A and B are shown apart, each in its own frame.
Chain A
Amino acid sequence: MSAGSPDRTSVANADVCVVGAGPAGALVADRLTADRDVVVLDAGPRFDPDDRLARQERAIRPGYDRPDVWDVGGERDAHASSGERFYPLNHARVKGVGGSTLHWQGMVMRLHEADFDSETERGVGADWPIDYADLRPYYAEAERELGVAGASDNPYAPPREEPHPMPAFEPSYSDSLFAEACEELGIDMHSVPNARNSEPYDDRSACVGYGTCQPVCPAGAKYDATVHVDRAEGEGATVIDRAPVQRLEHDADRVTAAVYATPDGTEHRQEADAFVVACGGVETARLLLLSESDRYPDGLANSSGTVGRFFMDHLFAGVGGTLDEPTRQNHVGFYTSACDQFYDEADAETAPFKLEFFNYAGPSPVEEALTGDDWGDELLGRLRDGYGTHVAMGGLVEQLPRADSYVGLDPDRTDDHGNPVPDIHWSIDDRALRTIERANEIQRSILEELGAEIEWVAGPDATGPAYHHMGTTRMSADPDGGVVDADCRTHDLDNCWIASSSVFPTSGAMNPTLTIAALALRVADDVERRL
């Protein structure tokens, strides 16, 4: 160990080793630390909270791409994209303590009841081996842990037992414009749950309106997983950063050690009684594939052959334009109203989808000011012309799990440790594409009712991923049908759990993080029970 470097050696007699310090790993660690010796390994660094304003500046300045904000990229994060559609993986993740919650938008909806029974209720997809009722108490707990601002005014939301921990953010001025149009069309608007403090909560400040929620909240009002990592460390957990796990050593039915590398070029073995893999929907599958052995020649925990298969993301559908009046956009970086009215109309032909009313349509003047060859009065004139009358709607659409949409290993390229990089082979089903058109149709009708001149449509050809990686170690009661059982424990290995959206058999169309958090809390309870 060189002077000044933290101790990254392994911990003796650990009860639990958690791989990944994103929201799932952080919640598992926090919940188990009181009674167990817990070690958390993360591939990326600890980020200094004092650097957040500088990271915000990177987010605003044109000289930096989105991955630069949180130092993503380079050999460590090399990847391939071999599917029908390019997948911009390094725009879609952050590696480090806090994980992708460092750059997320912070929207936290519960899945609907039918999302857990897609095959039964909608005739497509795969049923989860658990129901909404199984997860319901964990959803409530996850809302308290993350700190969710919300209201009970959404008639389409699944049943809940208590109010959200914080009041919802009030609707925006532009929401009031949308409301008039929606009323004419018989379309319901309602509040939306935000993992963002509408008032001081859990020793974190209320939102102060920086407007750069995605990719960085300098105020700490938006939840990120450093909250639970810090708490777990305060209670005695050991967190080792810059410690990418290379492989999981194992015998026939147990993981015995996580082998990780450190910046000084050495490898260490972290042994533990239980292992929780919480590396997200891409790296979780990759780690299992990298851990192949004579016993598991196709990858660890892969007797079903489903590791890496069924990769899903949510698809964006949107329409935007301008009005002939001010719309007051870009004061905040989050949205305050949504429409789930059409979600449960889903069937075999149409996917579930939700609609969002943006508060950040059109260009941000400060970002616009930093591009172009003008300045002085000419620049101000351009900014005034470009700002003030935009409106836009977004939406997320479910894609079905398909075996030909997968995360594999690229045999031709390796990362900074010589391991094959992940290959994202992303394919989208026709039902999802049709549903994007359906969402566009509703969005267009609302904007037309508003009197907007429509300037862009993100339809089936222009859609992109919402950066929600799901499905690659699916949950199944049948060991031949998935990687983990209903408790998120791998079918093959008795002491290995997966806490991640990678276990989602079918994704629904709601942002996944609240479900990830609820599952993580449930995993922690199961680990505790079995230790």
Chain B
Amino acid sequence: MELTRRDATAALAAVGGAGGVALAARQRADDPEDGDEAAAGDGDNEDDAALDDVAVRASMTAVAAVLYPSEVDGVGAFVDRFLDGRLDGSAHAKGIRIAVGELDDAARSWYGGPITELSESECDRLLREVGADTAEEDSDGTLAERARYYVVNELLLALYASPTGGELVGLENPQGHPGGTESYRRGPR
């Protein structure tokens, strides 16, 4: 099944750009007025780990090839288009850059090359070795929890909130996608 730019646009319509309310930062009622500026990755060391956006896009595409089922095509263009709307100046975007950067560092240390040069099975092992498979997502957590949040769940959310991702499961209007009020009335095809 072909993932299209329309799917990516639809996924963005579902979750929006990463700006606006501090998605990553869990704002509490008692936070100061402009407390939503606080977010992941304020430390200099983490900034050092951040990749530039070309490398982030290439790495996310390589990870998506592992995360997405084998019957979908067009992963590169889909991820690229989705990240057009997510890699902005927001704290969430910064969190993505840092988490991908730290994953890339791990790839270089453990496998001798960047994520983009790993085979799919190596990339799968990398994700599991950092703990992204069993971690609960947390935007402010450990590498495993942030990899789950900013990389694994970011990409899975993009896919399964899109029409094609929904149709893979048998649901052409998945939650988060504004697919109208016709499909709920239709019977199975």
Contacts and interface: CB of A to CB of B under 8 A. Distances in A.
Interface of A: 4-5, 44, 48, 50-51, 53-58, 60-64, 68, 71-77, 95, 169-173, 176, 198, 206-212, 218-219, 242, 263, 325-326, 328, 330-333, 336, 359, 364-367, 369-370, 373-377, 379-380, 383-384, 387-388, 416
Nearest to B172: A331
B78 interface: no
Nearest to B141: A63
Given A56-B16, A60-B15, 8 more contacts: A44-B29, A51-B20, A53-B16, A63-B149, A74-B29, A376-B66, A376-B67, A384-B169
A365 B171 contact: yes
A50 to B, nearest CB: 6
Nearest to B15: A57
Which of B15, B26, B153, B169 is the most central at the interface, judged by chain A CB atoms within 10 Å of its CB? B169
7 contacts: A54-B18, A74-B28, A208-B181, A209-B173, A210-B176, A331-B184, A376-B124
Interface stretch (B53-61, B100-108, B129-137): B129-137
Contacts of B111: none
B21 A55 contact: yes
Given A209-B173, A373-B134, A366 B161 contact: yes
Contacts of A173: 184-187
Given A365-B169, A373-B133, A376-B69, A54 B16 contact: yes
B28 A73 contact: yes
| Prevailing SS type, chain B contact patch | loop
B69 A63 contact: no
Contact of A76 (B29, B139, B172): B29
B187 A71 contact: no
Interface of B: 13-16, 18, 20-21, 23, 26-34, 66-71, 124, 133-134, 136-139, 149, 152-153, 156-157, 159-161, 165-166, 168-181, 183-188
Contact of B169 (A50, A71, A387): A387
B4 to A, nearest CB: 18
A87 B165 CA distance: 38
A339 to B, nearest CB: 19
Contacts of A374: 133
